[in-house]
Chains A and B, each alone.
Chain A
């Protein structure tokens, strides 16, 4: 007791801040007196960096405090709000772009590996489940032919459509009709499709951070800043389901192919920076039960049509256009789906998110599958992250 009294007198001098801590330290040994084998109790509060100093440690502490608020957020809406409420200059990524070799750039932005061909087929169904009804390919073909003929031939339009509007005026309703009729015909075989929601030209938004740069000019010149990206996409049609699609490959599947690394700043692509609202949206709000994606359908605009690329001597860019669109759109969609489930760069996904995409220009179709294995793309989270996102795709036919 005498020793404790001395200690209290000694420590009262420096300031009141240590008073309560000292009091706690004094009472603590009295409480844990009986079990001396317990872990050694801290006799002073944890030494942490300052919160307001102009130092790297203080900045780190502030960042960790912000990340703790995101972890502690009770609802997904609140989490998304905290992640997207601060607006800074960010690169606007357009999935349908005329930039050369855009697919390699987009792979580096999204840490995606591109494999040609389709993913490995799932293991065969167990024999005790009843066999699925045979696929009526003739009926599907007839339905597709009907849609084509309806738009191109049978429908009498009021005005002759001019050449530059032909694609939107004819291919767009054709794609709508095709998706609706095929969904209806295949819903007998696939009960998930029967309960699916079909969206027509609904926006899809995604916002993420990847990589770092040194700020070149301004009052923050010389400091390290993260690179921010935003995709604002409008797929022509998309199918959303309430149960997640099964994964193609396991979450930690290591692909031998490397993610392309670009040595220049994204401005070289060309990619431009703008500051506006950061949104994360899959096509519906978080309250919708159909929050997992199935397939997206995209129609390429007139600006990227085949004949135009051939005239510009960019014949090898035809495939690139399809691939870049698929990688960007599907990454945005799967990433937004994962964020709707509460995952983010510090809380990486625990199960892979899978979606499919079909990209067409009215005549040629390409099919893509995307598996999102990781959302941790920021510099801090990506240090020890071996996972990569995978995109499978076909040539267009």
Chain B
């Protein structure tokens, strides 16, 4: 106690005295009536002349300056006519023009579904098939589609993204994840020998919005998913009609007692109209592939692989549904020409590949034809990357570079890129 001087000692003994609460924060009342130093001074009380009824006081308002002997004028409160954006309060939700009584469950790009892929499958009335379809895998293995020195180029891309592209010794995930995906797409685009007829165009940030009924609940996918590749021609359907009919017997997996809308944001202010993110007349109208990146530096901020796969399913489904409604109208029916959309999700090292085929827009009931999704999960491009060599007892144990490189993953990436064009 000898260390504390006079006023500090008082502050320690009686914390309320200096206006601070027990933990050093201002008292609760301070937030409501304002800190004393910032309060405006009170206006002076009006002259006693104003209390006499029937009398009109003579003020110095006309003279435009103070005059002793005349009364102080009282002006009506001034209305500026506008509020700066800083002080504008939003109207209460009930008065918003888009307010609706029925709540809508919106899925946006930061929604983590509790049950992951199972929940996404139930919400989109889809049947899961593990592994990519044979058509795409055959594209991957066909040597005509390979780039020359493919492995060497991919290794260079990995080195560039993980080590070379920045002046730091160990670049962070926020920088290397978009660099690696951009470089891989550029590698596919510029070096693939297969000649393209249907041009594709990469679009970094477009917003998507689609709504559908699932039973009695209204579900919406809204927001931007990241980079999107669009094509001039639609992707051909993968599953034949027989396989599509066979999905009628498939029963969707429920996860009682968890509600299927857990993890989705419930809101009453929403717009039901579909929006693909592009206006009419866009030369590349058909969505081809979505690229979802998980590039946060900290692990808790990134999605788990299961949650990432669920997000991929829902965004691919949203794109497909918007496209189907644009082509075939808003009626719920089984599509004769199924719409196919692909998706790739990654965190810079682990890749998830997805191909979704939309067979029906009749999503209210649980029976009938289901949509199909082929999912290839947890494909490592490389197991680990050493940015600095590991040296034990003056001998280099691990050199600088990736360990456990799997060229198969890039072949699948290239196959998804070339699907529909070859």
Task: Report if A153 contacts B (CB, 8 A).
Answer: yes
Within residues 190 to 225 of chain A, which ones have a CB less than 8 A from any CB in chain B?
193-200, 202-203, 205
A288 to B163, CA, bound (A): 10
Do A158 and B283 have beta carbons less than 8 Å apart?
no
Closest A residue to B163 using CB positions: A285
What is the total number of residues of chain B having a CB less than 8 Å from a CB of chain A?
31
Question: Does B167 contact A281, Cβ atoms closer than 8 Å?
Answer: yes
Q: Contact between A279 and B164 (Cβ–Cβ < 8 Å)?
A: no
- Mask of A160-187 contacts with B, CB within 8 angstroms, 1/0: 0000000000000100110011011001
* Chain A residues in 8 Å Cβ range of B182: 198, 200
Given contacts A146-B283, A156-B275, A187-B190, whether A289 and B156 have CB atoms under 8 Å apart is: yes
Q: Is B299 an interface residue (CB 8 A)?
A: no
Query: Roughly how many angstroms separate A7 CA and B354 CA in the complex, as a whole number?
Result: 92
> Which of A146, A156, A157, A198 neighbours the largest number of chain B CB atoms within 10 Å of its CB?
A156
Interface pick from B128-136, B200-208, B307-315:
B200-208
CB distance from A239 to the nearest CB of B (A): 10
Interface check A44, CB cutoff 8 A: no
A366 interface contact, C-beta 8 A: no
A50 within 8 A of B: no
Shortest C-beta distance, B41 to chain A (Å), equals 37
| Cross-chain contact A197 with B202 (CB below 8 angstroms) | no
A279 touches B167 (CB 8 A): yes
Could you tell me the distance between the alpha carbons of A142 and B156 in the complex, rounded to whole angstroms? Answer: 32
Contact of A288 among B160, B167, B277, B283 (CB under 8 A): B160
Which residues of chain A are within 8 angstroms of B203 by Cβ–Cβ distance? Answer: 150, 155, 177
Binary flags per residue of A20-31, CB closer than 8 Å to B gives 1, else 0: 000000000000
B189 at the interface (CB under 8 A from A): yes
Q: Is B29 an interface residue (CB 8 A)?
A: no
Interface of A is mostly: mixed
Q: Shortest distance in angstroms between B373's beta carbon and chain A's nearest beta carbon?
A: 27
Interface residues in B198-246 by Cβ distance below 8 A to A read 201-207, 224
Instruction: Mark interface residues in B278-289 (1 if CB within 8 Å of A CB, else 0).
Output: 110111100000
B159 / chain A contacts, CB cutoff of 8 Å: 287-288
Chain B nearest CB, measured from A288 CB (Å): 5
The answer on a CB contact under 8 Å between A158 and B224 is: yes
A283 in the interface (beta carbon within 8 A): yes
Complex: how many Å from CA A157 to CA B202? 16
Within 8 A of B (CB), among A81-133: none
Take A203-B167, A288-B164, A289-B156 as given contacts and tell me if A158 and B189 are in contact as well, using a CB distance cutoff of 8 Å.
no
CB < 8 Å neighbour of A155 from B179, B186, B278: B278
- The interface size bin for chain A is 35 or more
In the complex, which of the residues B164, B189, B191, B201 contacts A150, with contact meaning CB atoms closer than 8 Å? B201
Which residues of B142-200 are within 8 A (CB) of A? 156, 159-160, 163-167, 179, 182-183, 186, 189-191
Task: Choose from B160, B190, B204 the contact partner of A173 (Cβ within 8 Å).
Answer: B204
A284 at the interface (CB under 8 A from B): yes
Chain B residues, Cβ within 8 Å of A149: 283
How far is it, in angstroms, between the C-alpha of A200 and the C-alpha of B207 when the chains are bound?
Answer: 23
Q: How far is the CA of A184 from the CA of B179 in the complex (A)?
A: 18
Say whether A154 faces chain B, with CB atoms less than 8 Å apart: yes
Known pairs A197-B160, A288-B164; A155 contacts B206 (CB<8 A): yes
Q: Report the minimum CB–CB distance from A204 to chain B (whole Å).
A: 10
Question: Which residues on the A side are within 8 Å of B224 (C-beta)?
Answer: 158
Contact B206 A283 (CB under 8 A): no
Chain A residues with Cβ below 8 Å from B167 are: 203, 205, 279, 281
Contact A199 B281 (CB under 8 A): no
How far apart sit A177 and B204, CA to CA, in the bound complex (Å)? 9
Residue contact B160 to A154, C-beta cutoff 8 Å:
no
Contact of A284 among B164, B279, B281 (CB under 8 A): B164
Q: Is B160 in contact with A284, judged by CB distance below 8 angstroms?
A: yes
- A193 and B190 within 8 A (CB): yes
Complex CA gap A158/B189 in Å reads 29
| Shortest beta-carbon distance from B164 to chain A in Å | 4
When distances are taken between beta carbons in the complex, the residues of chain A under 8 Å from B281 are 154
- Cα of A355 to Cα of B110 in the assembled complex, Å: 43
CB-CB under 8 A from B283, the residues of chain A are: 146, 149
* Interface residue from B156, B165, B207, B275 paired with A202 (Cβ < 8 Å): B165
User: How long is the Cα–Cα vector from A159 to B244 in the complex, in angstroms?
Assistant: 40
How far is it, in angstroms, between the C-alpha of A154 and the C-alpha of B283 when the chains are bound? Answer: 9
**Contact between B278 and A285, CB atoms less than 8 A apart:** no
Residue of B nearest to A172 (CB): B204
The answer to whether A177 touches B201 (Cβ under 8 A) is yes
Knowing A154-B281, A279-B167, A287-B164, say if A184 contacts B183 (CB, 8 Å).
Answer: no
Contact A197 B201 (CB under 8 A): no
Give the most central of B163, B164, B203, B205: most A CB within 10 Å. Answer: B164
Known contacts A279-B167, A285-B164, A287-B159; A194 and B183 CB within 8 A of each other: no
From B166, B189, B278, A156 is in contact (CB under 8 Å) with: B278
**Min CB gap B265→A, angstroms:** 16
> CB distance A180 to B189 under 8 Å?
yes
CA distance A83 to B159 in the complex (A): 26
Give the complex CA separation of A197 and B159 in angstroms: 13
Can you name 20 A-B residue pairings with CB atoms under 8 Å?
Answer: A153-B279, A154-B279, A156-B277, A156-B278, A173-B204, A177-B202, A177-B203, A180-B186, A180-B202, A181-B201, A184-B189, A184-B190, A198-B183, A200-B182, A279-B167, A281-B167, A284-B165, A287-B164, A288-B159, A290-B156
Chain B contacts to A: CB under 8 angstroms: 156, 159-160, 163-167, 179, 182-183, 186, 189-191, 201-207, 224, 275, 277-279, 281-284
The 9 closest A-B pairs by CB, nearest first: A284-B164, A154-B282, A285-B164, A158-B207, A187-B190, A288-B164, A184-B189, A154-B279, A154-B278
A interface residues, Cβ below 8 angstroms from B: 146, 149-150, 153-158, 173, 176-177, 180-181, 183-184, 187, 193-200, 202-203, 205, 279, 281, 283-285, 287-290
* Inter-chain pairs besides A150-B282, A180-B202, A285-B163, 4 sampled, C-beta below 8 Å: A149-B283, A173-B205, A187-B190, A198-B183
